[in-house]
Amino acid sequence: MFLQMLGLKKLYDQEKGLKYLDLEIEEGSFVTLLGPSGCGKTTTLNLLGGFLKADEGKILLEGEDITSLPPERRPVSTVFQSYALFPHLNVLENVCYGLRFFRGMKKKEAIPVAMEQLASVGLSGYEKAAISEISGGQQQRVALARAMATNPKILLLDEPLSNLDAGLRIQLREELKELQKKLKITMVFVTHDQEEALSLSDRIVVMEKGTAVQVGTPREIYFHPASSYVASFVGKVNYLETEKGTRIVRPEDVWMKEDPDGAYRVETVSFMGSHTLYEISDGKTVLKADLFGIDGSRFRPGDRVKAGWDDVSARLITER
Amino acid sequence: MTTNRKSRYLAAELADRLILAALLAGIGMFIIYPICSVVVTSFFKDGHFTLEYYQALFTAKSIKLIKNSLKVAVLSSVLTTGFAFFLSLAVFAAKGKRKQFIRNSLVFTMISPPFVSSLAYIMLFGRRGLVTYQLLGLSVNPYGWHGVVILQVIGSISFATLMLSTSFDHLDRRLILASRDLGATTTETLWNVILPMVRPGILSVLFMLFTMNLADFGTPVVIGGSFKTLATEAYLQVISSSKLGKASAISVFMVPAAVLAFFFYYRAMKANEKSTGSDRADAEDSDAFTLNGPAGVMTWTITIVFYVIMLLKYGNIFLSAVSNSASGSLKFTLEYFGKLPRSQWSSFQHSLIYSCIAALAASLMGILLSYYTHRRKLKGMRSAEFLASLPYIIPGTFYGLGYVAAFSHKPFYIRGTAAIIILNLAFRQISLTNKSANAMFSGINRKIEEAARDLGASRLNILFGIILPLMKPAFITGFISIFTSCMTSVGAIIFLISPGKNVASAELFQSIENGRYGVASVQAVVIILATLGINLAFMSMLKLSKRGGK
Amino acid sequence: MKKRAIAAFMAAAVAASALTGCQSSKPAETTAAETTAAETTVAETTAAETTEAEKEADKPFEGTTLNVMLAYGGADASFDAFTEKTGIKVEYVEISTGKALAQLQAENGNTTADVWFGGGVDSYISAKELGYLEQYESPEAEAINPAYRDKDGYWTGLALVPAGFLVNNDVLKEKNLEVPKTWEDLTKPEYKGEIIMASPAISGTQYAILNGTLQAYGEEKGWEVWKGINENVDFYAQGGGEPGPKCAAGEFGIAVLAMTGGTFAMEDEYPVTAVYPEDMIPWTPAPIAIFKSSENKDAAKVFVDYYLSKEGQEALREADARVMARGDVDVPAEIGNVDSSKLIDQDVALFGSQREELLEKWEALAGDKDSK
């Protein structure tokens, strides 16, 4: 196995931090650590980067124990959330930095390599620009180019897209994915945004309060959540009590039909463009429904509807 | 209701204007006017306008003095800045209790009564020094330019380190993480990331030290021997031949250096404002910056040397106060306590009271000045800020004589009063708090005041309800530094004391002039302990306010 | 709320220091009271007839405070006796006459001080010329040699300060040097680097030495001698009080300085010997004068009269042993054997008129070791 984290633990005053993590990552895969703030995902990343010393546990990279290796000697590079670009150096110099120190190149050798990196992130022509002059999206790309220039075995990304506005975020997300596929770099990505996690990852590690509660492919996580925490963190969910136990039903699996005698009344309507979110109530329970297209958008508050779901798609959840 | 409100706002606006006017009037009256009074004397001889004093500056002898002054000032400031850099690194890299300990040591070692360090130096390293002669058997001549440089460095290192430390505080630790992440070792990170980032701060400290050392007359007078500088020349001109004009010309000559220093200071300020303080919470806990390698060795060596020197200095002063080493061996004695001048205790009380009042006033004015200049960004306030920093840059004696010249005639006759001493002390020190307030303000979001106005607060509400409370730490630290400075400074006020209105530092100076070194040591000890006491009291107040404030 | 706490704390601190201040000054007052009590009991038995009313009449200025600029080491110990006798309080500030003159010039003579006590006579002469002094010829001044006072009555000498050498026995022994006997001896090359003296531009005593010896040797020979001495000096001290302690500490083997009681007292504590030069003894009068701008001139006159009276001169001599200006006051034993025949026959008035010219010549000679 390419990267192994065995029994990793790092705590700050008893409660916060990482309580326990066993995780294996294949070479060339894109793994996301997903969870809310305080769940331990950033701590894990910092342990991988070498910025924190673990209380217990080991990190093995290609079989070698790198747990106590300092950051400057680890073949691991990080793209920080705030990019941490050096303000006193221009774009090219920033990208050259790792080439000079990690790969030991002289300035002359480093420049052409850096230029290539800039080209691969689409920033040719910006070499001489000052950091303060370029946009947020461009800064993120410089940070990426700078980290990748060191040819790291693992690239760590700490919520790199959260500082960008929505449209840019989606665009860069796609570029990142393409880049990863093309270069086959092993990436460990940290985010609290479930859409990012679902669209980018080969595998997702859902974390809560310092431990991993589920590890799986995006589809596994979404369609077979291991607990109601996972279920409600990734996507929206309806909880239904039946004789056999609690069932979860995703809103997109709920169907609605116009029926003046229908058991449900439409309470709220949120038009989202490609789909519309409804909350419908039968007096006892409130169901969330997600309908697509123009037909799905026709219901109004107060309408009477008949609603139901595929029994097949309703999963049983055992609370832990 | 609206008319009531309106009048409330108008009254507040008026009060705000009055405060500003009072501040400016104070600066005009107690800084500009005295300085001008004395500068004017450099252009007049026996009632006629003349440039001969300035021409005299270009004689061979004067050129030599200028060279001497520059040589010493450059050396001292460069060396001090270098040491301050490594000491600041030590503060930066240390964590928790150790960090606090080093910081506190720096604050306490700023308490340095005048001249006693030079005496301690002679006693330890002189021809019959305890270290050089008794321990090592050498007979070294301590007098000369090297003595001056050494003592100027020792005297200003704590101050310089504290100033430079604030630049380090503004460093984004994430950048250090990034550098190490990209393969740079600690030393490489130091050279390629940290040093460039704190460079504006370094320049600012360097130039500040340069002007301070250029204007320093106390050190060369005691330890210079035959080595003379411009500042000592100015001082001696005054006290030996009362040639105020010549002394004024020399002092005026030192102002361009000050202007340059101010310019670099502003650049540093701007650079600090730019660097964003993004969330550093994680980085604090990580071992982001461990000091190892050659940089680490340098830092810890210098830190240890610093502590050794300070222990020697203060140890010597305390020892001299209670012992007599005349007969070659150490005899403990309390005789000096009996030889204190009659006026010792009343002078000491005066020192405490004057310094307290001056420090309170100066600290407050420094904050107000910073507020009106940098927050309200009123036109012309930049110049006011520069003028307010003038007294710090020109030799103290010069500033003191200005007060003598300016306030000895009606209608401004306040000579011989306590007020003149307090005013002189207060207005000299405004720039201390001013600078730290500036630094503090740059870390506070401007939107706060806009939000307050949006919610209906008047100018006064904002000033007293938001600005001053937020500035409490700057006020208290400013108070501590200024109080310490007032208790130990003597240059400016030596001409302002009058019978019945003497202060402890002047008494100390008089003891030294008369060769009563034992008594001087006792006086120094008293000053040190009292100042230390007040410092501790206010520092604990600072801790309390920090806990409560958040 | 915090502001109030700060204010309260400060008030407490100030009050505490005020209290300690009151307490510490009490012991000093009680010892002074004891000695004066002893003196007055002796006086009372001889003047038993004096009635209470007459006693009060002797103190018409009771309650006044005089401000004194002091440049006479140790004199402050005699002030209490004066206050006891006249009821006039004395507040003083110790300030060298050079500095005092600078201050006077900056204030154009408008000083808050009433009396100038001791220091360099050259400053007094300058002050007289600038019109800062009040003319007053005390009745007591008749008992004082006219050579020791201003002919126009603007200042009067309190004491004579002779000058001489202080040698460190250990240093001389170590370096195999002989004790210098004359001023010309000081030019001997073996003393190179071992002599310390103050700058004549700053120290009144040193200026007197320079001017006095020049008057005694004559200009040509005088400057020759000083040129020789200058060779042996590394640098000139910037204060009159420096040479003594530095010699005592062993920094230098020979100090040229004023010979006061304090100088001789050092022999008890340090390995030093005070030596009067055998060829000529320079001296300077330590004067007293009243400032023209004083608002307490009458009380000041009482002060001057006291210190020129036999009683006052003896009290002053007790405070610091010197040769007092009054002829009928004995020379104190502590200052050794002053051969008064060797005291230079000099014109003190020249101290003032020649000052600028002399100091210019001095600077030309010793310029780089000293500064004007």
- Check C21 against B341: CB less than 8 A apart: no
Cβ separation B172–A49 shorter than 8 A: no
Q: What is the pLDDT of residue C26?
A: 34
Q: Which of C203, C103, C116 is nearest to C156 (CA)?
A: C116
The CATH class, in words, for A3-229 is: alpha beta
Q: What is the pLDDT of residue C30?
A: 34
Contact residues, C window 299-338, toward B, CB-based 8 Å cutoff: none
Confidence (pLDDT) at C11: 44
Q: CA of C50 to nearest chain B CA: how many angstroms apart? A: 32
Q: What is the ipTM of this complex?
A: 0.75
Model confidence over C294-314: pLDDT tens digits? 988 999 999 999 999 998 999
Test the B interface: residue of A12, A68, A72 with most B CBs within 10 Å: A72
pLDDT value at residue A291? 93
Look at residue B285 in the predicted model and tell me its pLDDT: 46
Q: Do chains A and C touch (3 or more CB pairs under 8 A)?
A: no
Question: How many CB pairs below 8 A link A and B?
Answer: 80
Residue C307 is predicted with a pLDDT of 92
pTM passes above 0.90: no
Is B241's CB within 8 Å of C110's CB? Answer: no
- The parts of chain B modelled with pLDDT lower than 50 are 1, 276-286, 549-550
Q: Which of B204-218, B465-479, C52-66, C182-196 has the highest mean pLDDT?
A: C182-196
Structure tokens at C208: 């007197």
pLDDT digits (tens, 9 = 90+) for A138-169: 999 999 999 999 889 999 999 988 888 888 88
Q: What mean pLDDT comes out for the span C276-299?
A: 90
Neighbours of B332 (CB within 10 A): 8
Residue C187 predicted with pLDDT over 80: yes
Identical fold for domains B1-41+349-498 and B50-272+288-322, yes or no, is yes
Does CATH place domain A237-317 in 3.30.70.100?
no
d(CA C166, CA C253): 8
Q: Using CA atoms in the order A15, A18, A20, A22, what is the torsion angle rounded to 10 degrees?
A: 170
Position C2 confidence tier, pLDDT thresholds 50, 70, 90? very low
Nearest-CB residue to B495 (from C103, C170, C199): C103
Do the Cβ atoms of C248 and B499 come within 8 Å? no
CB contact under 8 A, A87 and B274: yes
> Residue B274's pLDDT is what?
57
Q: What is the amino acid identity at position B104?
A: N
Whether residues C211 and C230 share a domain: the answer is: yes
Are C174 and C116 part of one and the same domain? no
Query: Which domain, by its residues, includes C261?
Result: 161-283+339-366
**Chain-wide mean pLDDT for chain C?**
79
* Fold annotation for B1-41+349-498: MetI-like fold (1.10.3720)
B50-272+288-322: in CATH 1.10.3720.10? yes
- Which range, A214-218, B541-545, C98-102, C123-127, has the best average confidence (pLDDT)? A214-218
How far apart are the CA of C225 and the nearest CA of chain B, in angstroms?
A: 21
Please check whether residues C172 and C110 belong to one and the same domain: no
Domain boundaries, chain A: 3-229, 237-317
Q: Assess whether C47 and C99 both reside in one domain.
A: yes
Decide: C310 and C318 in contact? Cβ < 8 Å. no
Q: What integer pLDDT is reported at residue C201 of this predicted model?
A: 80
Instruction: Give the pLDDT of residue C23.
Output: 32
Checking if the pLDDT of A265 tops 90, the result is yes
Contact B287 A86 (CB under 8 A): no
- What are the boundaries of each domain within chain B? 1-41+349-498, 50-272+288-322
Tell me the three state secondary structure of residue C270.
Answer: coil
Read off the pLDDT band of A314 (50, 70, 90). low
- Are C166 and C146 members of one domain? no
- Answer whether A319's CB lies under 8 Å from A228's CB: yes
| pLDDT range class, residue A272, cuts 50, 70, 90 | very high
Q: Structural domain tally of chain C? A: 2
DSSP C249: T
Alpha carbons within 13 A on the beta-carbon side of A166: 1
Same domain, C122 and C48: yes
List Cβ<8 Å contacts ≥24 apart for C16-24: C17/B348, C17/B349, C17/B352, C18/B349, C20/B345, C21/B345, C21/B346, C21/B348, C21/B349, C24/B345
Q: Which residue has the tokens 């504290």?
A: B162
Of residues B412 and A203, which shows the higher confidence score? A203
Strand partners for A204: A32, A216
Comparing C-alpha atoms, which of A293, A297, A309, A303 is closest to residue A248? A309
Average pLDDT, chain A: 88
Give Cα A274 to chain centroid, integer Å: 23
